[in-house]
């Protein structure tokens, strides 16, 4: 069993897609282990995405992530990190619509920046991201 962090980003939350996104993961067999609605402060968003600090899109990414509420969740399942990444699709929602039309980023995202859903991309990032968002008392 493996755990991964998923975040419904501000664009998808604003569209009212949160329920559909959660339902997709539940119907794919993942178990919900934590769930929270909140807004990132700029400092928290910078720390959450610290690995991207030197990238050209970093400030755009941070501005986007603080632009409205997000919904974070911990999902558990076999091979969860890889399988959840497959369900969300490629980073660029336009590419996702071409190569993975039923993926969440194809369905709910706009482009490379506004792509509806975050998911941990490795065991190392899940181990950083899950305790960044959730305390032990907020998980089952």
Residues that bind ligand IDP (CB under 6 A): 52, 57, 60-61, 91, 112-113, 115, 118, 121
Question: DSSP states of 54-68 as a string?
Answer: TSTTHHHHHHHHTSS
- 121 contacts Mg ion (rule: CB under 5 A): yes
Rounded to the nearest whole angstrom, what is the least distance from the CB of residue 125 to ligand IDP in the complex? 8
Q: Which is nearer to Mg ion, 78 or 124 (CB)?
A: 124
Closest-by-Cβ residue to Mg ion is 121
Choices 1-9, 24-32, 95-103, 119-127 (CB under 5 A): range interacting with Mg ion: 119-127
Q: Which is nearer to ligand IDP, 35 or 61 (CB)?
A: 61
From the list 22, 45, 25, 23, the residue with the least C-alpha distance to 35 is 22
Report the site for Mg ion in 32-71 (rule: CB under 5 A): none
How large is the angle between the packed helices 18-27 and 80-88, nearest 10 degrees? Answer: 130
Asked whether the beta carbons of 118 and 12 are under 8 A apart, the reply is: no
Tokens of 77: 């399942």
| DSSP label at residue 96 | H
Identify the residue whose tokens are 């899109």: 57
18 binds, among Mg ion, ligand IDP, none (CB under 5 to 8 A by kind): none
Secondary structure of residue 31 in the 3-state scheme: strand
103 binds, among Mg ion, ligand IDP, none (CB under 5 to 8 A by kind): none
Q: Tell me whether residue 52 is one of the annotated catalytic residues.
A: no
């Amino acid at each position: 069993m493996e755990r991964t962090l998923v975040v419904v980003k501000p664009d998808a939350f604003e569209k009212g897609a949160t329920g559909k996104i959660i339902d997709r993961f539940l119907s794919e067999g993942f178990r919900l282990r934590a769930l929270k609605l909140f807004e990132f402060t700029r400092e928290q968003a910078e720390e959450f995405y610290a690995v991207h600090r030197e990238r050209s899109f970093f400030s755009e990414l941070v501005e986007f992530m603080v632009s409205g509420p997000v919904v974070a969740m911990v999902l558990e399942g076999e091979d969860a990190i890889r399988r959840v990444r497959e369900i969300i699709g490629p980073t660029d929602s336009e590419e996702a619509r071409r190569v993975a039309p039923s993926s969440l980023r194809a369905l709910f995202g706009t482009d490379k920046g506004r792509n509806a859903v975050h998911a941990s991309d490795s065991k190392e990032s899940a181990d950083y991201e899950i305790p960044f968002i959730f305390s032990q008392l907020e998980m089952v």
